[in-house]
Structure 1
Amino acid sequence: MLDATKSALPDLRRTRRFAIVGLAGLLASPPSFAGLADALRDGKSNVSARYRYESVDQDGLPNDASASTVLGRLNWSSAAWGNLTAGIEADFVGVVGIDDYNSTTNGKTTYPVVADPEGLDLNQARVRRQSGAVTMTGGRQRILHGRQRFLGGVAWRQNEQTYDAVRIESKGDDVTLDYSFIANVNRIFGPEDGAQPADWQSAIHAFRGVWSIGDGEISAFAYDFDLQNDNGIPNSNRTYGAEYTGEHGGFTLSGGIARQSPSGDSPLDYDAAWYWVEGKTSLGGVTFTLGHEVLGSDGGEAGFRMPVATLHKFNGWTDRFLATPAAGLEDTYLTMAEDWGKVSLAATLHAFSANEGSADYGKEFDLSASMPLGESLTALFKFATYASDGYAADTTKWWLTFTYRP
């Protein structure tokens, strides 16, 4: 592993130079300095906060987890200076009273993991240039592709995942093209290394194109996730695929397909498929969603992996499948959602099994209720319980969250 990391260092130096050159390109031919003071003076700042209590009961560990944490966020965005804008955002995650949990950095390994380490983190620091239909962004930034199934921000956790990258977007009437070169992944486990690395140095190429057609859209994507340190190396992969979603006579139909193989210095040798189908409709005020997702396996040796996706959003809220089993994963799910006045309710049933072989992994039930508490405050309750049929441990989690956004 050490030799592989050393061999990747020259490539990493080149990728950083590439990122610097890309950022310099954003600043080529800057506007007159006469308006710079106005752009800085007219910038806007914003403060938001999120409090969360999280409880985890996981079989096999001697203690249950109780985590009382708060996220404080301060951001500032400049006014336009010609066709340039800039922004900066800082996050602080702290404990409020109860810290009986394994944050991945505090050494409390007899408790279940609640991946909300304490610390102050620079979440964004970016410069953006707008030129007609083309937008270029350089620096530390959010990059969210579609449903965030392959590339996302994991904003559910208190410390968000952002990227040190150069991004180019072109938006037409019916077609949107989006390319990013990512030199570093700032993971949710930061700002300091612990049981998980806070950062993944990388040379990621991420392309996504979206074509609007009638009442639907088709997206095509190509990713080369070359992750160059620590446990990122075996997660390196090349993934190509497409997704579709559209309205058809009161039904929303969606689906996707992709192929994956190793990339970079990955020691793995596999070829795996992913596909997903989903239908959604409303009856009597209740929205029903039925879906089936497959993260394939290559002979039970390695499963389809999604190292920088917003994983909590998919395959159950207990997070039993953040890492795809070697035998792959099949997830059949049914969601029912309804609004009762100001309260939004949703419940989901999952049935999990292996893609390679006939093993049943387990079943999960998820429930959520959310409502506004005035103009700037919202409340969210979530509950999730996983019953194992032989894969991972029985786990029950619940959360109470209050979010303030002025």
Structure 2
Amino acid sequence: MRALSTLLLLSAPVLAASPLAAQTVTLKPLAEARLRWEQVDQDGLPQKADAVTARIRTGLVATTGRWSALAEAQGNLAIVPDYFDGVHPDPNRPLIGDPQSIGLYRAQIQYKSDPFTLTAGRQRIALDDERFVGAAQIRNNGQTFDAVRVELVPVKGVKADVSYVWGVRTVWGIDGTGVRPRSVGGNTVLANLGWASPIGTLTGFAYLIDEDEAAVQGFRLSSQTYGTRLAGAQSLGKAKLAYQASWARQSDYHRNPNSYSADYWLADLALDLNGPRLGGGYEVLGADKGQALTSFQTPLSSIFKFQGWADKFTTTPADGIRDLYASTGWGWKQVGPVKAVSLSAVWHRFESDRLIRHYGNEIDLLAQGKIGRTTASLRYADYQADRFGADTQKLWLQLDWTI
């Protein structure tokens, strides 16, 4: 925060002295609310978890010329707190990672022009598909970064995106501590270089993650990851085919006491038939020698989006993981008064990458639609364990409103 305060003090006279300061200041309110019931039933625990939570974010954006300043507060209230929130121990119930919290969600200054954007302060950072760096939006407290981020488009079709991060504000909120702290400090560098080629965006990336907190796995989540990704789409008459392919290699970094290297692979296809949707893919988070935390880890990702909604693999097992998945669904622009209606189902088969063995299978189901400014969703996950974890069923009923 000291670095952020210094930056704000240095930026103020520059903004005041600029001719832009004479322009009209535009104020835009920020407001969003979420009401959710989440239930988890996990074998081996005597009770279910039931969480009825209400999350509110509110703030303001002030813009003048190419400059803007944003401040946003956030509060999460547990109306029905019958769950283990990750912070206050409850050995009888499963984990639902939404502890009560209130505090500053974002506070940033931004300069934006056609080729160049500079953002400094507490901010959301979501890179590519959020597999390695994301905002963890499914969790009520979200994930933000105390960082300076530079986005540059030197020529058409080429974009460089580099961030220096000195703190990660976690989903565990103001009471976070120990292995689940409120924030994780360090000197992290996130770098992307993308080119919009004729067949899709080709990206090279380097993520140097420094988690400088001994309580968080004894520095064992610090890593350096280098890789490449291709993502694109092609029209096939009225249909659309989207595709992704990615490879990366990860090894230990900075104070990590482990010595390891592991690979990541992804191949993904999605076909939208102007209503019906089909998809499938194969993702591998590789392993080294089978020791804990020497497999491919993604501590800054929006992990809920990957490897099933039951969240059985938030930390990659020592022997890695292979995820074979297939999806189907249907979408409608409008059904009566409800817009953006969609139904979807995803099936996963999980295996270890090393010493191949079956971890388990999962089915994920989702129905959602929007009326006015409110989106309603009903979500279900069913993980059937074989050689990893315990049978787990999760159910969500959620309402999201935004201004």
Query: What is aligned with 1:50?
Result: 34
The one-letter code of the counterpart of 1:326 is A
In structure 2, stretches of 5+ residues that fail to align are none
Query: What is aligned with 1:397?
Result: 394
Q: Superposed, which structure 2 residues align to 1:162-173 within 5 Å? A: 162-171=144-153, 172-173=155-156
Q: Secondary structure at the match of 1:68?
A: strand
Matched, 1:247 2:230: no
Query: What is aligned with 2:205?
Result: 221
Q: Superposed, which structure 2 residues align to 1:248-267 within 5 Å? A: 248=234, 250=236, 251-267=241-257
| Contact 1:129/1:137 (<8 A) preserved | yes
Report the CA distance between 1:198 and its aligned residue.
1.1
Residues 143-191 of structure 1: CA deviation (Å, up to 9, x unaligned): 1101000000001100010000011111242011100000000000112
Cα separation, 2, equivalents of 1:100 and 1:203: 37
In the TM superposition, structure 1's runs of 4+ consecutive aligned residues that sit over 4 Å from their partners are 16-28, 33-40
Please, which moves more after superposition, 377-386 or 228-237? 228-237
Report the CA distance between 1:23 and its aligned residue.
5.8
Aligned residues: CA RMSD: 2.1
Cα separation, 2, equivalents of 1:273 and 1:19: 35
| Contact 1:26/1:129 (<8 A) preserved | no
1:382 to 375, 379, 403: 379
Report the CA distance between 1:25 and its aligned residue.
6.6
Q: Superposed, which structure 2 residues align to 1:6-405 within 5 Å? A: 29-32=14-17, 42-80=26-64, 82-96=65-79, 98-171=80-153, 172-194=155-177, 196-229=180-213, 230-231=215-216, 233-248=219-234, 250=236, 251-283=241-273, 285-301=275-291, 302-340=294-332, 341=335, 342=339, 343-373=341-371, 375-405=372-402
**Seq. identity, %:** 32
CA 397–37 in structure 1, closer or farther in 2 if over 3 Å, else same: farther
Report the CA distance between 1:236 and its aligned residue.
0.4
Cα separation, 2, equivalents of 1:57 and 1:356: 29
The one-letter code of the counterpart of 2:14 is S
Residues 3-46 of structure 1: CA deviation (Å, up to 9, x unaligned): xxxxxxxxxxxxx7776676667557334378759755x31212
Cα separation, 2, equivalents of 1:385 and 1:204: 36
CA 34–219 in structure 1, closer or farther in 2 if over 3 Å, else same: closer
More helix by share: 1
CA 114–37 in structure 1, closer or farther in 2 if over 3 Å, else same: farther
Q: Secondary structure at the match of 2:220?
A: helix
| Contact 2:30/2:72 (<8 A) preserved | no
Residues 62-121 of structure 1: CA deviation (Å, up to 9, x unaligned): 1100000000110100021x432100000100022x210011223223211111011112
Q: Secondary structure at the match of 1:29?
A: helix
| Contact 2:15/2:21 (<8 A) preserved | no
CA 33–216 in structure 1, closer or farther in 2 if over 3 Å, else same: closer
The one-letter code of the counterpart of 1:183 is W
Residues 196-236 of structure 1: CA deviation (Å, up to 9, x unaligned): 11111111001011110124111111010011002161100
Q: Secondary structure at the match of 1:312?
A: helix
TM-score computed with the length of structure 1 as normaliser: 0.90
CA 206–33 in structure 1, closer or farther in 2 if over 3 Å, else same: closer
Cα separation, 2, equivalents of 1:24 and 1:271: 42
Q: Secondary structure at the match of 1:79?
A: strand
CA 196–39 in structure 1, closer or farther in 2 if over 3 Å, else same: farther
Cα separation, 2, equivalents of 1:349 and 1:92: 34
The one-letter code of the counterpart of 1:85 is S
In structure 1, stretches of 5+ residues that fail to align are 1-15
| Contact 2:20/2:66 (<8 A) preserved | no
Please, which moves more after superposition, 392-401 or 127-136? 127-136
| Contact 1:332/1:352 (<8 A) preserved | yes
Cα separation, 1, equivalents of 2:22 and 2:140: 34
Q: Secondary structure at the match of 1:52?
A: strand
Please, which moves more after superposition, 349-358 or 101-110? 101-110
Query: What is aligned with 1:5?
Result: none
CA 219–107 in structure 1, closer or farther in 2 if over 3 Å, else same: same
| Contact 2:345/2:366 (<8 A) preserved | yes
CA 37–176 in structure 1, closer or farther in 2 if over 3 Å, else same: same
The one-letter code of the counterpart of 2:382 is T
Residues 305-343 of structure 1: CA deviation (Å, up to 9, x unaligned): 000100000000000000000100000000102025342
The one-letter code of the counterpart of 1:286 is P
Please, which moves more after superposition, 127-136 or 86-95? 127-136
